[in-house]
Amino acid sequence: MERLTEEEKNGVYKAIFNRRDIRAFLNTPIPHTKLYKLLEAAHHAPSVGFMQPWNFIIVQAQEIKNQLAAIVDKERRALAIHYENTDRELTFLDLKIAGIKEAPITICVTCDPSRGGDHVLGRNSIPETDIMSVSCAIQNMWLAAYAEGLAMGWVSFYKKSDVRRILNIPLHIDPVALISIGYTDHYPERPLLEIHDWERRHELKHLLFENKWGIEYINKDI
């Protein structure tokens, strides 16, 4: 059964393949209706036991964005130690890993592991399925942002305790991601980390196994 027209199908794949992680933003404000579309897309993500463990803290105050940017930069500098005296040191220091100060909106996406009580269907077996559910919500936002002509960046360089302190997040709530949203005048065709020669996409065929781990999947159609 076809659920989408050919054109609609192309739209879905176009968003999946062309969506990028963006770290450079214009200060053009985002209309509230557009922002709300992204949030609604997130809220329609699948979640383990339908627990919907997410909240979205929408940060627009420049002072708070500056505080978040400062702890992200602190973490970036701390992580730089791992690349000291290696051939990646200069590349790492050159990478722009966040655009929090520039982007008009930062959204902290959180996960409440206690939502739905102590027996959430499915999460009983694999506790981290709550965070996996939040990740699905974030990916929905990413695709919706692409569809709306907006740019989005996922920032994960931070200590959770710092983000909790700045945003008054209770201890049992997990700040899963800081998301920057805005318009950009530079939407790259390839992942920025690929452009900067840091990492490239693995060949899919090397990631496929047949029947058991490690057995090459051979399909003549691929």
Ligand X SMILES: Cc1cc2nc3c(=O)[nH]c(=O)nc-3n(C[C@H](O)[C@H](O)[C@H](O)COP(=O)(O)O)c2cc1C
**Chain positions contacting ligand X, by CB under 6 A:** 20-21, 23, 97-98, 154-157, 191, 193
Nearest approach, Cβ of 112 to ligand X (angstroms)? 19
In the bound state with ligand X, the residue whose beta carbon lies nearer, of 47 and 75, is 75
In the bound state with ligand X, the residue whose beta carbon lies nearer, of 57 and 95, is 95
Nearest approach, Cβ of 33 to ligand X (angstroms)? 25
Buried (b) or exposed (e) across 5-31, using 16+ Cβ within 10 A? Answer: eeeeeeeeeeeeeebbbbbbbeeeebe
Nearest approach, Cβ of 164 to ligand X (angstroms)? 17
Q: Is the dihedral of CA 205, 207, 210, 214 positive or negative?
A: positive
Question: Which residue is nearest to ligand X, using beta carbons?
Answer: 191
In the bound state with ligand X, the residue whose beta carbon lies nearer, of 116 and 133, is 133
Lookup result for tokens 């452009």:
195
d(CA 47, CA 129) in angstroms, rounded, equals 8
Q: Which string of DSSP letters, residue by residue, matches 46-57?
A: --GGG---EEEE
Q: Which string of DSSP letters, residue by residue, matches 77-132?
A: HHHHGGGTTSTTHHHHHH-----TTTSSEEEEEEE-TTTTTT--TTTTT-TTHHHH
Nearest approach, Cβ of 111 to ligand X (angstroms)? 13
Q: Is the dihedral of CA 93, 96, 99, 101 positive or negative?
A: positive
In the bound state with ligand X, the residue whose beta carbon lies nearer, of 31 and 46, is 46
Lookup result for tokens 């002509």:
149
Nearest approach, Cβ of 165 to ligand X (angstroms)? 19
Nearest approach, Cβ of 220 to ligand X (angstroms)? 29
In the bound state with ligand X, the residue whose beta carbon lies nearer, of 17 and 213, is 17
In the bound state with ligand X, the residue whose beta carbon lies nearer, of 21 and 102, is 21
